């Protein structure tokens, strides 16, 4: 076993603290990765504070991992030592169900093995092994099966690539799946980590993007990120001026808000895609959908094949995340700032600061 420095939440109410975990030596099909950077997703906060329920403690969050391969198992064919690689939101799945067979491991019938706050699997029956919790990227190294590892194209800066492993694929996958095409009018609700990637990716796909934000101060950034239009939502006038205007509404908001107000911004046959996961349910009135034959959909991250496709798309289109690089010991402050919507637009932890004891 390999002693590995990390940061962990020990319970839902306390700040994250330094913590030591053990990583396994890579098995025949596994790689050991030296983690260089890890993005900070709002899901890390929901889970570390047990906002969705069922959290497993101690918890080492982090599922936007970029690093370099430091060791490979005897039968690893896809990666070699020194290569730049990524790990996203899951590290394993059953590998046998229809979703896994379709390359959509995130929808595995038996549940994916999340990169953290989840469990490794028994090799024989592929079921969760509850004695082996998974630990995420707020740590200096991780051991992962090669089939769940992504290749980071050389054109992408490694720190700015880390958020693509969750925020990037979570926004890319539904834009593709629901068929966003050049000229479509897309509203992105919430300009945070997911939102800013949705703007960049939808614009790169040729859509006409409008940002709907509670923060008037993000107007110039929205335009610089690729949006054509921006509207502040706080005073409510946008819900009249922009009614029935959009083909798609991409909702990335992390906190409770009125879905009906945003549904009314859709044209006939428009689709609202929920990506944000508030901690309490919302009421949707049937009329908001029925009146204009609208659809309300959801989408969760993306499979391994599509995540690689997204990384290659980003390299080709010069898309990467706008980040603020932080030391490991700034994580609790970063959480507080994200809860105030004060992030431009993704915090990324420099794990060198944990490895070398400077953070």
Cα–Cα–Cα angle for 158, 161, 167, nearest 5°?
A: 155
Distance CA 128, CA 99 (A): 17
Per rule CB under 6 A, is residue 260 in the interface with ligand NAP? no
Residues 181-220 that bind Zn ion (CB under 5 A): none
Per rule CB under 6 A, is residue 257 in the interface with ligand NAP? yes
Residues 16-75 that bind Zn ion (CB under 5 A): 41, 43
**Residue 100 interface partner, choices ligand NAP, Zn ion, none, CB cut-off 5-8 Å depending on type:** Zn ion
Tokens representing 190 are 């919430």
Query: What does the per-residue mask of binding to Zn ion show for 85-104, with x meaning CB under 5 A?
Result: --------xx--x--x----
Query: What does the per-residue mask of binding to ligand NAP show for 137-176, with x meaning CB under 6 A?
Result: -----------------------------xx--x------
Placement of tokens 């992105």 in the chain: 188
Distance CA 133, CA 324 (A): 30
Distance CA 146, CA 193 (A): 27
Please identify which residue in 42, 49, 121, 185 interacts with ligand NAP, judged by CB under 6 A: 42
Residues 176-235 that bind ligand NAP (CB under 6 A): 190-195, 213-215, 218
Per rule CB under 6 A, is residue 46 in the interface with ligand NAP? yes
User: How many residues touch ligand NAP (CB under 6 A)?
Assistant: 31
Please identify which residue in 26, 67, 114, 276 interacts with ligand NAP, judged by CB under 6 A: 276
Q: In the structure, how many helices (H) and strands (E) does the chain have? A: 12, 19
Per rule CB under 6 A, is residue 115 in the interface with ligand NAP? no
Per rule CB under 5 A, is residue 300 in the interface with Zn ion? no
Q: Which helix (H) or strand (E) holds 249?
A: strand 246-251
Distance CA 320, CA 168 (A): 8
Please identify which residue in 59, 166, 202, 331 interacts with Zn ion, judged by CB under 5 A: 166
Placement of tokens 């064919």 in the chain: 77
Q: Specify the residue, 41 or 225, whose C-beta has the smaller distance to Zn ion.
A: 41
Please identify which residue in 69, 301, 319, 349 interacts with ligand NAP, judged by CB under 6 A: 301
Q: Specify the residue, 31 or 87, whose C-beta has the smaller distance to ligand NAP.
A: 87
Q: Please measure the distance between the N-terminal and C-terminal CA atoms of the chain and give it in whole angstroms.
A: 24
Tokens representing 316 are 């080709």
**Residue 301 interface partner, choices ligand NAP, Zn ion, none, CB cut-off 5-8 Å depending on type:** ligand NAP
Residues 248-277 that bind Zn ion (CB under 5 A): none
Contact range with ligand NAP by CB under 6 A, out of 64-72, 125-133, 294-302, 309-317? 294-302
The DSSP secondary-structure symbol of 163 reads: G
Pairing of strands 128-133, 119-121: antiparallel
User: Residue 109: is it exposed, middle or buried by C-beta count within 10 angstroms (0-12/13-18/19+)?
Assistant: exposed
Distance CA 317, CA 13 (A): 42
Question: Residue 56's closest CA among 134, 115, 135, 117?
Answer: 117
Q: Is the Cβ–Cβ distance between 190 and 161 less than 8 Å?
A: no
Which residues of this protein are in contact with ligand NAP, per CB under 6 A? Answer: 41-43, 46, 166-167, 170, 190-195, 213-215, 218, 252-255, 257, 275-277, 299-301, 338, 341, 343
Residues that bind Zn ion (CB under 5 A): 41, 43, 93-94, 97, 100, 108, 166
């Amino acid at each position: 076993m390999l002693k590995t420095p990390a940061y962990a939440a020990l319970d839902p109410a306390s700040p994250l603290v330094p913590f030591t975990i053990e990583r396994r030596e890579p098995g025949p099909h596994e790689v050991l990765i030296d983690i260089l950077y890890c993005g900070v997703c709002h899901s890390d906060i929901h889970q570390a504070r047990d906002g969705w329920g069922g959290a497993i403690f101690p918890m080492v969050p982090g599922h936007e991992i970029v690093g370099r391969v430091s060791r490979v198992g005897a039968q690893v064919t896809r990666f070699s030592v020194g290569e730049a690689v990524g790990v996203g939101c899951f590290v394993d799945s059953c590998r046998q169900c229809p979703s896994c067979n379709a390359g959509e491991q995130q929808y595995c019938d038996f549940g994916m093995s999340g990169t953290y706050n989840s469990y490794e699997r028994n090799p024989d029956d592929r079921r969760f092994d509850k004695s082996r919790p998974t630990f995420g990227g707020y740590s200096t190294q991780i051991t992962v099966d090669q089939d769940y590892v992504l290749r980071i194209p050389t054109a992408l800066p490694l720190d700015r690539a880390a958020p693509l492993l969750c925020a990037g694929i979570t926004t890319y996958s539904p834009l593709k799946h629901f068929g966003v095409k050049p000229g479509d009018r897309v509203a992105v609700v919430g300009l945070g980590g997911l939102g800013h990637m949705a703007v960049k990716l939808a614009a790169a796909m040729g859509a006409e993007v409008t940002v709907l934000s509670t923060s008037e101060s993000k107007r110039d950034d929205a335009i610089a990120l690729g949006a054509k239009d921006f509207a502040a939502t706080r005073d409510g006038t946008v819900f009249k001026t922009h009614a029935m205007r959009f083909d798609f509404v991409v909702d990335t908001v992390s906190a409770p808000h009125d879905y009906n107000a945003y549904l009314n911004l859709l044209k006939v046959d428009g689709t609202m895609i929920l990506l944000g996961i508030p901690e309490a349910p919302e009421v949707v009135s049937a009329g908001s959908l029925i009146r204009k034959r609208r659809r309300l959909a959801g989408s969760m991250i993306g499979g391994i094949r599509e995540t690689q496709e997204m990384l290659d798309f980003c390299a080709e289109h010069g898309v990467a995340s706008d980040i603020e690089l932080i030391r490991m010991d700034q994580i609790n402050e970063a959480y507080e700032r994200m809860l105030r919507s004060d992030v431009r637009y993704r915090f990324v932890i420099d794990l060198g600061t944990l490895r070398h004891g400077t953070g």
